[in-house]
Amino acid sequence: MRYDVAVIGGGPSGAVAAAILAKAGLSTVLIERNFDNVKPCGGAIPLGLIEEFKIPAELIEKKLSRMKARSPKGRVIDMTMPNGYVGMVRREKFDRYLRVEAEQAGAVVVEGLVKSISHSGEGFVINTLNDKVPPLRASRIIGADGANSKTADELHFPPNELKVIAMQQRFKYTPSIQKFSDIVEIWFDGEVSPDFYGWIFPKADHLAIGTGTEDHKHNIKALQKRFIEKIGITDKPYLDEAAKIPMKPRKSFTQEKAILVGDAAGLVTPANGEGIFFAMRSGKLGALAMIEHLKHGSPLKNYEKEFRKLYAPIFFGLEVLQAAYYRNDRLRESFVAICADDDVQRITFDSYLYKKMIPASWPVQMKIFSKNIYHLIKGS
């Protein structure tokens, strides 16, 4: 059978795109390499995403409005979101739900690791390693297959320039771990991560603890081991997870007949490594652009233009923040000190919940600017 669109990758970006395409009446196949795949992911999603995509309450394992930021010297800043919360989801359940939504919308969902993609006439032929899945033909392709995207390689998109390797371990709650069950902790500590951060995210029945570092620069297992030691946990994890995460958008993620969304496009923000929100938003924007393209002849590059128009300032701002403060522990110490400011917290949380740059009054802007200059000089 020939499909209008083949979506390669059944995570949040691909599943959202497939559901929207199918609802619009386009014949859609969603190809997921492994239905049982568990992606190492903190699983934190903002309130704006929950509202936009109507995520059911049963998928939100925790609603957390408190957070701690910890500096290299052990200074702890307590922060509270006054106007919302971070929802904690378990990726295997979350992804499965989104794929079911796509299937119920009319998409054909198949399991198979993509082996090759070749041009054929006005479209593509996709071969998988699953013998039960015949070659799939599609007029257009959406690549949603992660940081190491086979789609991007086969179709010669520009490479993902910067990748972080992330490792996460899951621990069942015990009396010694229970104290972490109702608050997010972020560790800005060179012993935990020399160029990123470590996280402690509580879920319904377990604690997710992880760290990240630029790929090929440091030993991620050694960093994770040190993190667990510093936290003081002696329990054994029941699951170890690791994956690569892109930390910079590709120079281009659209072609004449194909687009990339989510991690495949490199749409994970610097500094905080948030990917689920931008995966689902890019999946939605990409699918809408694909519908306009197939039904009315609009160019697919409109998708990339729209995404960059909406979110380029956020990516740029976080890239500057990471470059400024993540270079050494003196600067990380200064960064955590800035987090103690009430206005910094308010602006940060308000912007985070709905991914919009929230303007501050001129006096507040000048105060925050002055504090940044002071702490950058002090940290340097």
- Of 109, 155, 110, 100, give the one whose Cα is nearest residue 131: 110
- Of 202, 196, 201, 238, give the one whose Cα is nearest residue 220: 196
**CATH class of this structure's domain 2-37+91-159+251-315:** alpha beta
Across 29-56, average pLDDT? 87
pLDDT tens-digit map of 302-317: 999 999 999 998 888 8
pLDDT at 256 over 90: yes
Query: Nearest 5°: CA angle at 160, between 156 and 164?
Result: 150
pLDDT tens-digit map of 332-376: 998 898 888 887 777 777 777 666 655 545 454 454 445 555 444
Q: pLDDT higher for 88 or 30?
A: 30
Query: Nearest 5°: CA angle at 26, between 111 and 142?
Result: 55
Label residue 214 by pLDDT band (50, 70, 90): confident
Report pLDDT for 365. Answer: 47
Domain boundaries, the chain: 2-37+91-159+251-315, 44-89+162-246, 319-379
Label residue 226 by pLDDT band (50, 70, 90): very high
Q: What percent of the chain has pLDDT over 70?
A: 92
Label residue 182 by pLDDT band (50, 70, 90): confident
What tokens does 190 get?
């060179």
Helices 276-296 and 301-325 meet at what angle, rounded to 10? 160
Check residue 236 and report its DSSP letter.
P
pLDDT at 42 over 90: no
pLDDT at 199 over 80: yes
CA atoms of 147 and 60, how far apart (whole Å): 25
Report pLDDT for 86. Answer: 87
Q: What percent of the chain has pLDDT over 90?
A: 62
SS3 letters for 28-45?
Answer: EEEEECCCCCCCCCCCEE
Query: Nearest 5°: CA angle at 303, between 299 and 308?
Result: 135
Report pLDDT for 238. Answer: 93
CB 246 within 8 A of CB 215: no
pTM (global) more than 0.85: yes
Same fold, 2-37+91-159+251-315 and 44-89+162-246: no
Label residue 251 by pLDDT band (50, 70, 90): very high
Label residue 380 by pLDDT band (50, 70, 90): low
CA atoms of 260 and 262, how far apart (whole Å): 7
The listed CATH number (2.30.40.10, 3.20.20.10, 3.30.9.10, 3.40.50.300) that belongs to domain 44-89+162-246: 3.30.9.10
pLDDT at 148 over 80: yes
